[in-house]
């Protein structure tokens, strides 16, 4: 079924309708109750992909065919719509959780310190000492 594009005569909004070809001549009404005028749009022509260096093996990939070969050779697949954003959100969420866990751990360690050691730490921080966060095993 094709997608038809209309301009609303009532409010001027552009909207789409997904309907069978048999209903091509049917009058279409927008949500504002205005009648829609069919808009004739040019066909979409998809250009080839610009060249890039493969993140998998460093080879130069030029165009769609080379991209598909690169993915097939490495056993990978292209992202589905929204998948990359989904994984990025999850990665950011995990990093936020890790940062919160580190902050809680530091707070517990400082709270457990003897008062004299806390005073020395405070003096070091006030005198401009900086900290470096380093995970064990790195």
- Count of structural domains within the chain: 2
> What Rg value do the Cα atoms of the chain yield, rounded?
29
> Where in the sequence is the domain holding 72, given as residue range(s)?
47-80
Q: 35 and 53 in one domain?
A: no
Per-residue tokens: 13: 């909004």
Has residue 114 been placed in a domain?
no
Per-residue tokens: 19: 């309907």
pLDDT (tens digit, 9 = 90+) per residue, 54-89?
Answer: 988 899 999 999 999 999 998 998 888 889 899 999
- Which pTM does this prediction carry? 0.42
Which of 4, 12, 1, 2 shows the shortest CA–CA distance to 35?
12
Report CA-CA distances (Å) from 8 to 5, 36, 69, 100. 10, 4, 45, 51
Say if residue 96's pLDDT is above 60.
Answer: yes
Residue 137: the pLDDT is 61
């Amino acid at each position: 079924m094709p997608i038809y594009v209309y301009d609303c005569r009532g409010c001027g909004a552009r909207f789409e309708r997904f309907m069978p070809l048999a209903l091509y001549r049917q009058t279409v009404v927008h949500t504002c109750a205005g009648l829609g005028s069919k808009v004739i749009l040019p066909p979409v022509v998809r250009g080839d992909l610009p060249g890039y260096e493969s993140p998998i093996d460093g080879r130069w990939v030029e165009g769609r065919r080379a991209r598909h070969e690169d993915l097939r050779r490495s056993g990978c697949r292209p992202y589905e719509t929204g998948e990359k954003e989904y994984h990025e959100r999850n990665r950011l969420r995990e990093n936020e959780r890790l940062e919160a866990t580190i902050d809680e751990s530091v707070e517990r360690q400082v709270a457990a310190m003897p008062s004299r050691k806390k005073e020395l730490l405070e003096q070091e921080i006030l005198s401009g000492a900086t900290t470096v966060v380093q995970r064990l095993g790195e």
